[in-house]
Structure 1
Amino acid sequence: MSKSIPVLIPSEIHSIVDKQYTQVHQLLGKRLALMFGYLIAQSAQSAVFSAFFRKNLLELGENPDLLEVEEDELLVILFGSKIATEGGKIPDELYDALTQRYSQEQVILLVSFATQLVAATMFNATLEVQVEASLQPYVLPEAFRTELCLV
């Protein structure tokens, strides 16, 4: 018996991610918020969320395969990616640099969003949630990784 769910289902966890994304968008601006979410989703190997953020980056005119980022943007993106790949173990230098730029409340928001996105990825994987049809064109092969270019 398959656990597969044919479409992205409305759920409490996706609602939490949506609410927090809105706050992250207000904090970081649209472009950086999308890159932040995309790199977390990519790092967590989330087909559902990677496709969502990839679509939105493309609609913004960005190339999600080769993201050109400023040094201050890189700080935020690496922070989110490390949360997804290192189980919350953030190098002291990265954390210190982030806390020099953002308040404690803002750092908590970034951590909360990143961890909720990782949790939603696990939720989707556990229930084998399929990427909805409208996002299918934006799904990348599993082995593909986005490259970052510091400008």
Structure 2
Amino acid sequence: MPRISPLKDALTPPETKSAYQQHISAYNARITNMKATLGHSLNAFLAYMEWYPLYEDVKKILGSRLSPLFALSISEASDCPLCSTYFRKIIIEAGENPDALKLTEDEQQILSFGAAIAQHKGFVSDAIFEPIQERYSEKEIVTLTAFAGIMIATNIFNNVLHTDIDEYLFPFRSNRALHDHKDQSL
């Protein structure tokens, strides 16, 4: 059960409804449980929606396959069932099994980088960072690191508030997310 319920449409202030509409139009997105919970604070909603343009930059660096895998590695390392399920959906709909990925060494290194940022609160060992530094420009590393930070912030938001996984994501839950979701409902 969520600690803060998503803001009901009837209680949503006009300026927040307007921000929702702009977001839906700009990103062909839906207002999820997380976004409706953020709707309690317009500035919080606007701050967290900056995730979208940053993710577009990540896709330019990593491509359409590796970008959701990078986000999944961060979300799983942050123990966020909601965000992990969201990225599992993207990966599954692209035709891959997120539980049986076939990765190159370069791909595994970027996923390890994302996971290490989340697991170690940003303290990434040289052994993990150096291959990233060899392959990506300074601008790209800044973008990837900033994205990891905003992804972790999203994970924290959902974990702290026990944001419910949206029903449209149910078919994509991992066994762990199913268990975590049941625990949060108690």
TM over 0.5: yes
What is the match of residue 127 of structure 2? 93
What is the match of residue 5 of structure 1? 5
Larger RCO of the pair (alpha carbons < 8 Å, separation 6+): 1
Runs of 4+ with deviation above 6 angstroms:
none
CA distance in 2, matches of 1:30, 1:112: 18
**Greater shift in the superposed pair: 7-16 or 106-115:** 7-16
Residue from 41, 48, 69 that aligns with 1:35: 69
Cα displacement (A) at 1:127: 2.1
**Greater shift in the superposed pair: 131-140 or 8-17:** 8-17
Residue from 113, 116, 132 that aligns with 1:79: 113
**Greater shift in the superposed pair: 51-60 or 132-141:** 132-141
SS in structure 1 opposite 2:67? helix
Cα displacement (A) at 1:13: 4.3
CA distance in 1, matches of 2:144, 2:82: 20
Structure 1 alignment gaps of length 5 or more: 145-151
Q: Which has the larger radius of gyration?
A: 2
SS in structure 2 opposite 1:142? helix
**Greater shift in the superposed pair: 97-106 or 16-25:** 16-25
Structure 2 alignment gaps of length 5 or more: 7-32, 37-44, 179-186
The alignment status of 1:107 with 2:141, answered yes or no, reads yes
What is the match of residue 182 of structure 2? none
Conservation of the 8 A alpha-carbon contact between 1:5 and 1:128 = no
String of CA shifts for 1:26-64, please: whole Å, max 9, x gaps: 111011111111111111111111111100101111110
CA distance in 2, matches of 1:43, 1:112: 16
- Give me the TM-score of the superposition, normalised by structure 2: 0.71
| % identity of equivalent residues | 29
Conservation of the 8 A alpha-carbon contact between 2:85 and 2:177 = no
Bigger proportion of residues as helix: 2
Aligned alpha-carbon RMSD (Å) = 2.0
- Give me the TM-score of the superposition, normalised by structure 1: 0.87
